[in-house]
Every structure is written in structure tokens, then in C-alpha cells.
Structure 1
Amino acid sequence: MSSSVTIVALAAGLAGFSLPAIDVPTVVVRAAGDCSAAAAQVVAETGGELLSAQPTADGKCVVTVLIPGNGGRPKKVTVKVPM
């Protein structure tokens, strides 16, 4: 069942009314075991685009990046690096 807020927003949009934009704050939380520095290092070294960075139980990070190709498909590379 649709919520009444969704129905009102849809009806307002169909009637030509615009609803005010809602600013949603972005929160970044860093904690022990954070792979952000390791991910930044791999991205800088490879020139790739970050896909994921996951901590492991042994204190390392598994970082996956896409490295641009020469007009072809990018290459997916996964690297395990220390935190």
C-alpha cells in the first residue's frame, strides 16, 4: 500500500506543482579499521576508479579499482594492502 506522502507528492507533480528540495546531510564516519587511506593510495598509484574497499580480519584492506583501457573496457583490479 502506498503511503499518503508518496500519493501527495505524485499528485502535486502531475498537477504542475513543485515540492521544495530537501537537503540531506552527508555523514562520513571513520573508525578503526578504516580502509580509506589504503583505497586512496591504490587509486593514486593505478589512476583507476574506486569500486570498493573492505577491511579484512588480518588488518589489511581489499581494494578493487577499475583502470581505464585504451578505448576498450576498463580492467578490474583487486589488491590486498595494509591499512
Structure 2
Amino acid sequence: MSSQVIIAALAAGLAGFPPPAVTVPAAVVSAAGDCSVAAAQVVAETGGELLSAQPTSDGKCVVTVLIPGNGGRPKKLTVRVPM
């Protein structure tokens, strides 16, 4: 459940909307904030659509984006970037 909240908040932030009003544990909020910058960077560099962003225990974020194809299926790209 918490990953869906993180994705919704990140997507809303990237789209310019305020995040949804939900109550989540402080650890989830800080992790989402840390990965939101990394997720925005990957989305900007690839031109893709954010699929997920998750913090890891080694101080990095695993960011997955879908990159549009030329009339075909989008390509799924997963990268590890520093927070």
C-alpha cells in the first residue's frame, strides 16, 4: 500500500499538483522526498513516464520508467541513482 502512496505523491508532484492528503508514516514521507529528486532526474533525462521509485538501504533509489516506443510497446528502464 505504501508504495502506491509514494507513486501517487511523486506523480502528482511531477505533474505540478499538490500531493494527495493522506496520512503515512514519517519514514515513508522522508524516503519519498529523497527519491523524488532522483525520480524527476531520470524522467527528465529519459522523457519517460515514472512507474516506480524506491529507496534502498545503501542510499540509492531504484527508479523505473516507461519510455515510449515508435508505435510499439514502451521500453521499461530501471536505474539505480544516488538519493
Fold-level similarity (TM above 0.5)? yes
* CA RMSD between the two structures: 2.1
Query: Structure 1 runs of 4+ off > 2 angstroms?
Result: 27-30
Structure 1: runs of 5 or more not aligned: 1-24
1:27 aligns with 2:21: yes
CA pair 57-63 structure 1, distance change in 2 beyond 3 A:
same
- Whichever of the two has the greater Rg, that structure is 1
Question: TM-score with structure 2 length normalisation?
Answer: 0.64
Instruction: Give me the identity figure in percent.
Output: 85
Q: Which amino acid aligns with 1:31?
A: S
Structure 2: runs of 5 or more not aligned: 1-18
Q: Identify the structure with the greater helix proportion.
A: 2
How far does the alpha carbon of each residue in 1:26-58 deviate from its partner, in whole angstroms, 9 at most, with x for none?
237741562000000000000000000000000
